[in-house]
Amino acid sequence: MRKHIVAGNWKMNTTVAEGVELAKAVVAASAEVPADVKLIIAPPFTHLYPVAEVVKGTRVGLSAQNCADHVKGAYTGEVAVNMISGLGAEYVILGHSERREYYGETDATLVEKVKLALAEGLSPIFCIGEKKEEREAGRHFEVVTEQVKNVLFELSAEEMAKIVVAYEPVWAIGTGLTATAEQAQEIHAEIRKVLAEKFGELAEEISILYGGSCKPSNAKELFACPDIDGGLIGGAALKAEDFIGIAVSF
Ligand code: 13P
91-112 residue pLDDT tens: 999 999 999 999 999 999 999 9
Select from 207, 217, 227, 220 the least CA-distant residue to 7.
207
Distance between CA 165 and CA 152 in Å, rounded? Answer: 10
DSSP state of 3: P
* Statement: residue 12 has pLDDT above 90: yes
Select from 223, 195, 193, 201 the least CA-distant residue to 211.
223
**Is 169 close to ligand 1, i.e. is its CB under 6 Å away?**
no
Counting from 1 in the atom list of ligand 1, the atom nearest the Cα of 11 is: 10
Which residue is catalytic, options 98, 105, 130, 168? Answer: 168
**Is 105 close to ligand 1, i.e. is its CB under 6 Å away?**
no
**Among protein residues, the one whose CA lies closest to atom 7 of ligand 1:** 234
**Among protein residues, the one whose CA lies closest to atom 5 of ligand 1:** 234
pLDDT, residue 180, reads: 96
Distance between CA 57 and CA 11 in Å, rounded? Answer: 24
Which residue is catalytic, options 96, 130, 140, 188? Answer: 96
Select from 109, 193, 81, 207 the least CA-distant residue to 144.
193
**Is 9 close to ligand 1, i.e. is its CB under 6 Å away?**
yes
**pLDDT band at 1; cut points 50, 70, 90:** confident
User: Euclidean distance between the first and final Cα of the chain, in Å?
Assistant: 14
pLDDT, residue 24, reads: 98
Q: Which domains does the chain have, with CATH numbers?
A: 4-247 (3.20.20.70)
**pLDDT band at 46; cut points 50, 70, 90:** very high
**Is 235 close to ligand 1, i.e. is its CB under 6 Å away?**
yes
SS3 (DSSP) at 141? helix
Counting from 1 in the atom list of ligand 1, the atom nearest the Cα of 97 is: 8
Residue 152: CB atoms within 10 A of its CB come to 26
114-140 residue pLDDT tens: 999 999 999 999 999 999 999 999 999
Distance between CA 63 and CA 11 in Å, rounded? Answer: 11
Burial class, 57, CB count within 10 angstroms (exposed 0-12 / middle 13-18 / buried 19+): exposed
Average pLDDT value for the chain:
98
pLDDT, residue 177, reads: 87
